[in-house]
Amino acid sequence: MKGIFLTIEGLDGAGKTTQLGLLRDWFWEKGYDPLFTREPGGTRLGDGVRELLLSREYTGLVPLTEAFLYAASRAQLVAEVIVPALKAGRPVVCDRFVDSSIAYQGYGRGLPRDFLEGINRRATGDLEPHLTLLLDLNPALRLRRLAQEGVPRDRLEVEGDAFYTRVREGYLSLARENPRRIKVISAQQSVQAVHGQIVQQVVELFRKRTPCPKRRF
Ligand code: TYD
């Protein structure tokens, strides 16, 4: 596949949404035609699954159900959206991917890693991002940011600090295991500083790989 596949990861409240907006502008200014998508969701079916997962109505969801639902949404997104865009040579940027499942369902909820890797290998057909940007945030700051933004709390956001501390540890272990793919960026810096580091990583990746086709207009 010709396209470049990037993912962005981090705790809720790490500033992913703001950074994705800036990155989208950057791609456009450079003349690329990127596809931005997100998990869970990104397809009609995935948006339905997202509602099931994030609604606070379904409080009794067991970790296994959660893991399968995220994987189901992912399988649909990969087949319907990500692979066709990569085949067309477009850069694809996905807000969360398999690392979220390892961090949240694995380290957070305690499901076995090999089980999660197995279902996700099937869900993605072994597709791996070329680059993952991990916005690292101390869980205590996460709560402060979410309170400031007045963001409504979904089913996962009501989890306590201990859960998010485990999730963060999970992310950092994944980064240690995959230093070439996962780049850790401190989310405690200014928005512009984080953006600068993201761009630096993307430019470096483009340098290593054949740049993808630019827009024709
Ligand atoms: P979302 O509102 O998209 O949060 P954010 O803006 O922080 O990405 O909700 C996604 C939630 O789902 C978030 O709390 C992380 C969680 N999640 C998992 O637990 N496992 C997964 O595999 C994915 C993709 C997300």
Query: What is the enclosing helix (H) or strand (E) of 135?
Result: strand 131-136
Separation CA 20–CA 126 (nearest Å): 24
- Could you read off the pLDDT tens digit of each residue along the chain, which spans 217 residues? 789 999 999 999 899 999 999 999 999 999 999 999 999 999 999 999 999 999 888 888 999 999 999 999 999 999 999 999 999 999 999 999 999 999 999 999 999 999 999 999 999 999 999 999 999 999 987 777 777 766 656 666 667 889 999 999 999 999 999 999 999 999 999 999 999 999 999 999 999 886 555 665 5
pLDDT at position 119 is 98
**Mind spelling out the 3-state secondary structure of 22-77?**
HHHHHHHHCCECCEEEECCCCCHHHHHHHHHHHCCCCCCCCHHHHHHHHHHHHHHH
- The closest alpha carbon to 77, from 17, 5, 183, belongs to 5
| Ligand 1 atom closest to Cα of residue 74 | 24
The contacts of residue 205 (CB under 8 Å, 6+ apart) are: 4, 6, 130, 131
Predicted confidence at residue 213, as pLDDT, reads 57
For ligand 1, mutation pick of 7, 9, 12 (most atoms within 8 Å of CB): 12
- Give dist(CA 85, CA 190) in Å, integer: 32
- The closest alpha carbon to 61, from 51, 47, 76, belongs to 51
Cα(216) to centroid of ligand 1, in Å?
Answer: 34
Six token digits for residue 215: 């827009």
CA of 213 to the centre of ligand 1 (A): 31
